[in-house]
Amino acid sequence: MKRLLILGGGTAGTIAANKLRRRLPRDDWSITVVDKDDEHVYQPGLLFLPFGVYRPEELVKPRRNFLPHGVDLIVGYIDMVKASDNQVILSDGRTLDYDYLLVATGTSPRPDQTPGMTSDEWRQSIFDFYTLDGATALRDKLANWAGGRLVVHVTEMPIKCPVAPLEFAFTADAFFEQRGIRGKVDITYVTPLDGAFTRPTASKQLGGMLHDRGIKIEPDFVIDRVDPENKALISMDERVIPFDLLVTVPLNMGPEYLARSGLGDELNYLPVDKATLQSKQYDNIFALGDGSDIPTSKAGSVAHFSADVLVENFLAHVSGRPMSRAFDGHANCFIETGHDKGLLIDFDYANEPLPGKYPLPFVGPFSLLDESRVNHLGKLAFRWAYWNLLMHGRPLPLPSHQLGGPQKPRADRLATPGRS
């Protein structure tokens, strides 16, 4: 009996468990998922929670509900991976032996990594929204906030769902307008990038949309510290940005166990071959999702688009065949732009986001790089597809290649758009 151990039962680990269970014979292979708890959070919903669109309990379901029969879930904290011994040690002392390991433990916000961020002002005037606790606390704050200087801030790239802070700014603009206090709110978008977004084409368009909404942008801002007493962000080159309410995206890092195990890079991400998704250090370790160092967005759509490549390469590798599938870095994201509108961007390692249409039967077509109401509805509808199709590894009739790029659609590569 061969043992596959999957570390992490979130978006990536759950998709992989479903797809691999269907392909690996049950008489020959056991599959076990390890996670710290049995709560699967629908992370795309966290953006909407602060604005009262969802309640926290609507965004959480048991992980077990989405793992198929024949996949065990072990709840426990991972202490370390002893890769040379093919063992995972849990913090309660349990030892799990494996033949193959899939790292799918993602990335997490780390406010503790920026001096002054987790001070007395944390969750008083300083908030994050990438956690259920943080988004819920921010909802309560926004419900009673009378206005002032709102600073939406990105600490350092890469971050999970790189468009979410922009969406937060757009949605906040619409939210305050609806509450009739937009005139009392001054919104500034502070980013370490030299523009609104990472890719030039999208950056230009999104930068224009910030401008149109009266949202100021402060680019090239590399934070040194938060000054909680004077309520200000201070950059490495001593620029000072005061705030009354700070909504920050803290530094994102992979889990500490990868660092302890000598498997992580400087941000605790697992270095892998960006085409095959196999570890550069150990050929029986693979990674799927946000926890690897592949140079594309950290996003559910990427986990989804790369899952088929991972599965085919994994099956080839374990049967001694060469790995023939190469991931192209494909990512796409619905971008919520406020006032019940949204836009969709789609790109990969080589190709920029392009204008055009994204074909989706029944509810589409979605407009690429162009605001429309149907894009917003697509984003809200995605929650149903996430739980009912995506997590079970079922396809939607969509091409998984980059739209408008040089590749031609292939009927055998079906996928669903994710929300980055």
Partner 1 sequence: MPVTTLDGHTVHIDDEGFLTDYDEWDEDLAKVLAANIGIDLGEEHWKVIRFLRSDYKERGETATTRRVQTVGGVPVKEQFTLFPNKPGKKMAYIAGLPKPRGCV
Using CB under 8 A as the binding rule, whether residue 28 contacts partner 1 is answered as no
Of 19 and 160, CB closest to partner 1: 160
Which of 27, 28, 266, 412 binds partner 1 (CB under 8 A)? It is 266
Which of 296, 306, 337, 400 binds partner 1 (CB under 8 A)? It is 296
Rounded to a whole number of angstroms, the minimum distance from the CB of residue 289 to partner 1 is 14
Q: How many CB atoms lie within 10 A of CB 319?
A: 7
Rounded to a whole number of angstroms, the minimum distance from the CB of residue 335 to partner 1 is 15
- Residue 90, SS3 per DSSP: strand
Of 157 and 380, CB closest to partner 1: 157
Rounded to a whole number of angstroms, the minimum distance from the CB of residue 244 to partner 1 is 27
Distance CA 154, CA 106 (A): 18
Single out the residue of 245, 41, 238, 207 nearest to residue 127, CA to CA. Answer: 245
Identify which range of 18-26, 50-58, 204-212, 293-301 contacts partner 1 by CB under 8 A. 293-301
- Tokens encoding 43: 């992370």
Distance CA 17, CA 197 (A): 33
Using CB under 8 A as the binding rule, whether residue 193 contacts partner 1 is answered as yes
Binding mask 65-94 for partner 1 (x = CB under 8 A): ------------------------------
Using CB under 8 A as the binding rule, whether residue 350 contacts partner 1 is answered as no
Per the CB < 8 A criterion, the answer to whether 148 and 245 are in contact is yes
DSSP assignment of 161-188:
STTHHHHHHHHHHHHHHHTT-GGGEEEE
Which of 27, 57, 212, 237 binds partner 1 (CB under 8 A)? It is 237
Binding mask 147-176 for partner 1 (x = CB under 8 A): ---------xxx---x--------------
Rounded to a whole number of angstroms, the minimum distance from the CB of residue 414 to partner 1 is 24
Single out the residue of 6, 24, 2, 5 nearest to residue 14, CA to CA. Answer: 6
Q: Which residues of 191-218 are buried (b: 16+ CB within 10 A; e: fewer)?
A: bbeebbbbbebbbebbbebbeebebebe
Instruction: Find the distance separating the first CA and the last CA of the chain, reported in whole Å.
Output: 37
Of 133 and 265, CB closest to partner 1: 265
Using CB under 8 A as the binding rule, whether residue 181 contacts partner 1 is answered as no
Site for partner 1 (CB under 8 A): how many residues? 21
Which of 143, 236, 240, 363 binds partner 1 (CB under 8 A)? It is 236
Distance CA 57, CA 327 (A): 35
Rounded to a whole number of angstroms, the minimum distance from the CB of residue 192 to partner 1 is 8
Cα 76 to the center of its chain, rounded Å: 23
Using CB under 8 A as the binding rule, whether residue 363 contacts partner 1 is answered as no
Using CB under 8 A as the binding rule, whether residue 115 contacts partner 1 is answered as no
Strand intervals (E) in 228-299:
232-235, 240-242, 245-249, 252-253, 285-287
Rounded to a whole number of angstroms, the minimum distance from the CB of residue 74 to partner 1 is 32
Q: Which residues bind partner 1 (CB under 8 A)?
A: 156-158, 162, 193-194, 198-199, 220, 222, 224, 236-237, 265-267, 295-297, 329, 331
